[in-house]
Chains A and B, each alone.
Chain A
Amino acid sequence: MIEAALQLNKPDFKLEVNFSVPGRGVTAVFGPSGCGKTTLLRAMAGLEPDTTGSLSVNAEHWLGANGSKAVEERRVGVVFQNPSLFPHLTVQENLLYGRKRLRKITEPIDLKELISSLGIQELLLRYPEGLSGGEKQRVALGRALLAEPRLLLMDEPLSALDQSSREKLLLLLEKFLQDIDIPVFYVTHSSEEVARLADNLVLLANGVVSDHGAIQQVLGAVDGELSRSDTAFSMIEGQIATTQLPGLICVDCGAGIVLQLPDSTSMSGFRYQPGSAARLRIRARDVSLCLEAPQRSSILNILPAVIAELAAKPHNGSRIVKLDIAGKQLLSKISEYSVRQLELRAGQPVFAQIKSAALI
């Protein structure tokens, strides 16, 4: 378990958080810019000396009544927004910087395998100066991991990259973060990254945690902050289908549900392997409802669903409706006017139209 009760007062900002998440898997810290995500991460790493409260990471006490563990004692790996590789060391020397300082190496990591799975084997003798943003971040990730951290903190690692590098690195992280046995705290303001990477979710706004827990549970809180905001979204898991239609990517979400999306291979340059796992982010505002099956529509994905729950009150003229599609949770944000018009209520069967979904 990772348990945190942290307070930090800075001249123009106040952080006061309280949460508890599993000590495994990826926990995303999600919120708008300026809400304190980076400050929270820094406080957890021990980089903000004025932090008070308590923090324990899988039974290791990093902050508490007995004082605060120094940063260098915390075994915390950090990947910053800007790669921050040491300019005077080669990639290889950078990678090994933390590892050299371990008092004992408890996990003999296969260096070669890590380097090749990060795709950086060609870069080892080069200096950071000539590397691309994506390459630097991969090295930074390798460097953090090689130091055998107890907790990996990632602060918007993709935001400084261009679109194509971002895509490539996100693909890498998707697979990578699930394979490592270390808990990860992943800070982002991108709902797509949250959907594709997170097992747990901490919502942060104005320095305070507004909700936290397993991802589906937090996303599905119809009366929560997230649902009321413009960024409300759902995450659906599936597999790249074995049969494909021309110009489309089909994702099999189980129970007969197949979602179809336009093929963006040419843009990202990545061929999708049939059978490989995929996670979709679907914005609530991209999901509309019909009481009858619409005919000959341009929208590709029209799915039968049952209304599981409605938000108690409308917000800014819209209301969140939580749908159940063969056991999967999907949020829809529609105008309050339509809610009344269509007399929507829990238990009612409807058709969900999904305008677009973000995939890979």
Chain B
Amino acid sequence: MLAQPDIAALLITLKLAATTTLILLLLGTPLAWWLATTRSRVRSAIEAVIALPLVLPPTVLGFYLLLAFSPDGPIGATTAALGLPSMAFSFWGLVLGSAIYSLPFVVQPLQNSFAGLGRVPLEVAATLGARPLDRFISVVLPLSKMGYLTAAVLGFAHTLGEFGVVLMIGGNIPGETQVLSIAIYDHVEALEYSQAHWLAAGLLLSSFLVLLMIYSANRRFHLMKTA
């Protein structure tokens, strides 16, 4: 059965996935909107940068984050100058790593959803006197529910399974940075196979329940209806 540290790992994992997803949805919205509507020449370059985490091995990302967090790295120096604790081995360090790692999984569905609306609904709203932010909130958001759903599910699921980045920068601190994927790995390493099985099952079950809730809500409230 699940021991206390394992339950803590489960909770940390869920907290990490939820926090990362929320932050990415908030930050990803203006970014995806800009990408979907801009005519700027740098758009392709930005899109390529955002897609980089898709091809970069997570351990590589984690390794460079580790260097960045160190006292003479850019992030470490900044946090020290601001009087903040180092991001290495901290929950918020994991959030940063996860956010970078899962960024394209959130931004791309949002961008596609926004672009798929076409310019007509926005032009209509403008002729009816709606200013840009108003247009976004009253027209784009309601019609992008499917995009948000996809982005949230992908971001959440991707972070749940994250291993490589956490492995490099987590430090395996129980209750703080010891996530499920690491805990399972450690059980395997320590030849504690039955605990590994229990944890993996717990992870699968909770993920399944979360996804089930989301898809059921979608059915009930017709979130996917856009026509």
Q: Do chains A and B touch in the complex (CB under 8 A)?
A: yes
List A residues at the B interface (Cβ < 8 Å): 45-47, 70-72, 74-78, 80, 82, 84, 86-88, 97-98, 101-102, 129, 143-144, 147
Task: Give chain A nearest CB distance to B49 CB in angstroms.
Answer: 27
Kindly specify which of B19-27, B121-129, B171-179, B191-199 makes contact with the partner chain: B121-129
In the complex, the chain A residue whose C-beta lies closest to that of B128 is A98
Which 6 A-B pairs rank lowest in CB-CB distance, beginning with the nearest?
A: A98-B128, A71-B126, A101-B129, A88-B142, A78-B127, A84-B124
Give the CA-CA distance A359 to B182 in the complex, in Å: 80
Residues of B within 8 A of A82 (CB): 120
Residues of B within 8 A of A74 (CB): 127
- Chain B interface bracket (under 10, 10 to 19, 20 to 34, 35 or more): 10 to 19
In the complex, the chain B residue whose C-beta lies closest to that of A147 is B128
Within 34-52 of B, Cβ neighbours of A (below 8 Å) are at: none
Q: B72 at interface (Cβ–Cβ under 8 A)?
A: no
Q: B226 at interface (Cβ–Cβ under 8 A)?
A: yes
Task: Decide if B131 touches A72 in the complex (CB within 8 Å).
Answer: yes
Query: With A72-B130, A101-B129, A102-B129 in contact, is A78–B124 under 8 Å at CB?
Result: yes
Give the CA-CA distance A71 to B121 in the complex, in Å: 14
Task: Decide if A71 touches B123 in the complex (CB within 8 Å).
Answer: yes
Give the CA-CA distance A103 to B37 in the complex, in Å: 28
List B residues at the A interface (Cβ < 8 Å): 120-121, 123-131, 134, 138-139, 142-143, 226-227
Query: With A87-B143, A101-B134 in contact, is A71–B127 under 8 Å at CB?
Result: yes
Residues of B within 8 A of A70 (CB): 126
CB < 8 Å neighbour of B130 from A46, A76, A78, A101 = A101
Query: With A84-B120, A84-B121, A86-B121 in contact, is A76–B127 under 8 Å at CB?
Result: yes
In the complex, the chain A residue whose C-beta lies closest to that of B135 is A72
Task: Give chain A nearest CB distance to B136 CB in angstroms.
Answer: 13
Residues of A within 8 A of B120 (CB): 80, 82, 84
Task: Decide if A143 touches B123 in the complex (CB within 8 Å).
Answer: no
Query: With A84-B121, A87-B227, A101-B134 in contact, is A72–B143 under 8 Å at CB?
Result: no
In the complex, the chain B residue whose C-beta lies closest to that of A45 is B127
A and B contact pairs by CB, cutoff 8 A, 30 listed:
A45-B123, A47-B126, A70-B126, A71-B123, A72-B126, A72-B127, A72-B129, A72-B131, A76-B127, A77-B127, A78-B123, A78-B127, A80-B120, A80-B124, A82-B120, A84-B120, A84-B121, A86-B125, A86-B139, A87-B226, A87-B227, A88-B142, A88-B226, A97-B128, A97-B138, A98-B128, A101-B128, A101-B134, A129-B227, A147-B129
Residues of B within 8 A of A71 (CB): 123, 126-127
Task: Give chain A nearest CB distance to B21 CB in angstroms.
Answer: 24
Query: With A101-B134, A129-B227 in contact, is A86–B124 under 8 Å at CB?
Result: yes
Give the CA-CA distance A46 to B122 in the complex, in Å: 13
Residues of A within 8 A of B142 (CB): 88
Give the CA-CA distance A201 to B78 in the complex, in Å: 68
Give the CA-CA distance A46 to B124 in the complex, in Å: 12
Task: Decide if B123 touches A47 in the complex (CB within 8 Å).
Answer: yes
Task: Give chain A nearest CB distance to B114 CB in angstroms.
Answer: 15
In the complex, the chain B residue whose C-beta lies closest to that of A76 is B127
Chain A CB count within 10 A is highest, among B120, B121, B129, B134, for B129
Give the CA-CA distance A47 to B142 in the complex, in Å: 23
Besides the known contacts A72-B128, A86-B121, A97-B128, 6 further A-B residue pairs in the complex with CB atoms under 8 A apart:
A72-B129, A72-B131, A78-B124, A97-B125, A97-B138, A101-B130
Task: Give chain A nearest CB distance to B123 CB in angstroms.
Answer: 5
Task: Give chain A nearest CB distance to B74 CB in angstroms.
Answer: 39
Give the CA-CA distance A144 to B123 in the complex, in Å: 13
Give the CA-CA distance A82 to B118 in the complex, in Å: 13
Give the CA-CA distance A84 to B227 in the complex, in Å: 11
